[in-house]
Amino acid sequence: MKRETPIFTGVGTAIVTPFKNGKIDYEAYGKMIEFQIAGGVDSIVVCGTTGEAATLTDEEHRDIIAYTVKQVNKRVPVIAGTGSNDFAYAVDLSRHACEVGADALLHVTPYYNKTSQKGIVEYFSKIADACSKPVILYNVPSRTGVNISIDAYRALAKHPNIIATKEACGNLSFIVELMEAVGDDIDVYCGNDDQIVPMMSVGSAGVISVLSNVMPKETADLTHLYLEGKCKESAKLQLKLLKLINALFMTVNPIPVKTALNMMGMCDIEMRLPLCPMTEAEDEKLFNILKDYGLV
């Protein structure tokens, strides 16, 4: 049964992890968190894909979750990305996130080793059994090579500690079927910024967003307008932001959004291999679009 109160409604920012001289730049990161909260976002999602979690050391992963909880200081919920294709590690990291005060955990489908649909149900169910905080599933088949089926979702939605999913399959027909199947049992968050309004129109609770890294207020406004019943105004804003949304995905996320934040003076361009800077032509295109939106 769905929680009476979702972890959040509106926008959760899949926040970037800034690096400087090979280490996490906590000075820049703290300012980024304040920028998000001042912009009115409804949650901070740390150590997701956009946060380059795959290249964080274990110590860094644990430290940045603890730092985020402390810096946010209960002003909005903190959702910690603690997923892995190593079950034991995922459980250990999740327990740490719970101990330091994260409000919920984001768990991606096991990648590379992949699994069957039966394996997905067993994996997520046992993760949820082991955690004291609620679990949000993360379905992003373009990165993991595996998709959560509707039948698997039905089974997982029965678990009392699995309360939501971040759905980034990109298939709106699948989303509609998903909402019909489990929308009364778990919350569904949009995982693609270009589909926020379409997904909210069939019952999504909001978005876990890349766009909000650079435009937190506008992304929050987009979701809040829809939640207030101002659907036409929300749709108009979705379309207004589309050019920027597409620019932030002109190459592999989070390369463009980190580049944009650098152009805005918020953090260094530094990222970790295999991610690398964009081409000069891509930089110029992104800068001009940011300029069009008044961001530089």
Which residues are the active-site residues? 138, 166
Residue type, 125: S
Rounded Cα distance, 206 and 12, in Å:
8
What 3-state DSSP class applies to 254? Answer: coil
Residue whose C-alpha is closest to residue 78's, from 95, 92, 64: 64
Phi, psi of 185 (to 5 degrees): -110, -35
The answer to whether the Cα torsion of 44, 40, 295, 241 is positive or negative is positive
Residue whose C-alpha is closest to residue 131's, from 140, 143, 123, 119: 123
H-state helical runs in the chain: 26-38, 58-72, 87-100, 117-130, 141-144, 150-156, 172-182, 196-200, 216-227, 231-240, 242-247, 255-263, 280-292
Do the strands 135-139 and 206-209 form a parallel or antiparallel pair, or are they unpaired? unpaired
Say how many C-beta atoms besides its own lie within 10 A of residue 88's C-beta.
9
